[in-house]
Amino acid sequence: TACSSKFVLSQVHPMWQEPLAIPGGDRQSPIDIVERKSVFDSKLKPLVTNYDPKTCQQIWNNGYSFLVEYDDTTDKSTLKGGPLQDQFRLCQFHFHWGECNSWGSEHTVDRRLFPAELHLVHWNADKYNLFEEAVVEDNGLAVIGVFLKIGKRHEGLQKLVDALPVIRHKDSVVEFTKFDPACLLPPNIDDYWTYHGSLTTPPLTEAVTWIVMKQHIEVSHDQLAVFRSLLFTAAEEEVQKSMVNNFRGTQPLRGRTVRSSFT
Ligand SMILES: NS(=O)(=O)c1nnc(N(Cc2cn(-c3ccccc3)nn2)Cc2cn([C@@H]3O[C@H](CO)[C@@H](O)[C@H](O)[C@H]3O)nn2)s1
Ligand SMILES: [Zn+2]
């Protein structure tokens, strides 16, 4: 299978067939994080997350990934500190994964690939009133990236895994409440890399302060296998396509510096 041989990029979902011409795109994401080239910045503060599980609303299959969406109309689930000057609101989290455990993450660390990557998406509510406004501004978005590794079962993730069969097809949605996204963060969120980049799916806008956790979380092989049971395609399409390899390849650094909060 493709898992054993070198992955042929042509199998990548049309969505990610590069090159997507981004005019003057010199801060695209994801990137390869070269540990020894990252620069320790002692001015980086600890990250402060304050998530209210009651703001969790629904989980849906948008045809690229599955999104768990939060009510971002008030300052109930917020992120501040770290490299951020302002307070950001959580709007959704989602994942990227491979067709097997050999690849699937978007960011890489010294070219190392992980089987999957979690993204918690926030927008700058101190400066803007809506996600749509923030998504086109330099300091509009902040995304926390967490690598997943195969290991012991993640108890907190299981509630989410159990909801996936209900949203197998593109555009399916189901109510999903009282989920605390903090349970998906690693124990130590003080150690991270940060750099200025972009969304990794269209519109690929260069509005993101990326905060990539050094520590990964563990999920079981079976839990990740359920992610792969999702479909890119809607129910009525005759050819069903498994939702796998929904990650973008790493992009040129273009002279950017990756800072680290740890030595
Ligand atoms: N791989 S990653 O880098 O992290 C991400 N890649 N894409 C992401 N999102 C999708 C998206 C939508 N838009 C957009 C831009 C202009 C106008 C309208 C939408 N940009 N990126 C993030 C995302 C946002 N949303 C929802 O967008 C709605 C507006 O369409 C908003 O009302 C909801 O509050 C919010 O939850 N969903 N996903 S993140
Ligand atoms: Zn993402």
Residue 106 alpha carbon, nearest atom of ligand 1: 1
Ligand 2 mean position to 248 CA, how many Å? 9
- 3-state secondary structure (DSSP) of residue 115: coil
Pair of tokens at residue 220? 């079981």
Looking at residue 200, its pLDDT comes to: 96
Backbone angles phi, psi at 6, to 5 degrees: -60, 135
Q: With the C-alpha atoms ordered 188, 207, 88, 181, is the resulting torsion angle positive or negative? A: negative
Using 70 as the pLDDT threshold, list the residues of the chain that sit under it.
1-2, 4-24
Looking at residue 98, its pLDDT comes to: 97
Angle at the Cα of 33 from the Cα atoms of 30 and 39, rounded to 5 degrees: 125
Nearest bound ligand to the CA of residue 120: 1
Please name which of 9, 15, 78 lies closest in space to residue 241, comparing C-alpha atoms: 15
pLDDT, tens digit (0-9, with 9 covering 90-100), for 161-207:
999 999 999 999 999 999 999 999 999 999 999 999 999 999 999 99
Gyration radius from the chain CA atoms = 17
Collect all residues with Cβ–Cβ distance below 8 Å to 188 and sequence separation of at least 6.
Answer: 214, 215
Ligand 1 mean position to 36 CA, how many Å? 33
Whose tokens are 């991270």? That residue is: 192
Looking at residue 10, its pLDDT comes to: 45
Nearest bound ligand to the CA of residue 97: 2
Looking at residue 15, its pLDDT comes to: 65
Neighbours of 213 (CB within 10 A): 21
